[in-house]
Amino acid sequence: MNDTPEHAVIVHFKYGSNDLQPLFELENALENAIAAANAGELDGNEVAADGSDGYLYMYGPNADRLFDTVRPVLESTNFMRGAIVKKRYGPPEDGIRESIVKIAP
């Protein structure tokens, strides 16, 4: 285990479809952007059974850098409009600093 704090970028989005192909395409674009910037990793998604909404989970050593890397990809994706992004500056425990950003509608 490394000593680098595990920062997170967690995106909560409205989806409204059971067709996951557009989500998989977005994940591919996010993975490519994150890898090119060496900013962390995309850990996956959770989508409601009815397709109404979902989450994307990304982790890396610097939440701000990771978000700056993925923001253009998120902003260029229709179903990400209005998404709420939580940047967490450390492991998931009490007292860890977080900030919230909204993707422009």
pLDDT tens digit string along 46-68?
Answer: 999 999 999 999 999 999 999 99
In this prediction, residue 5 carries a pLDDT of: 60
Instruction: Using CA atoms of 59, 61, 63, 66 in order, give the dihedral in degrees to the nearest 10.
Output: -70
44 Ramachandran zone, left/alpha/beta (phi>0; psi -120 to 50)? left
Global pTM value: 0.93
Per-residue pLDDT for 1 more than 50? no
- Contact between 41 and 34 under an 8 Å Cβ cutoff? The reply is yes
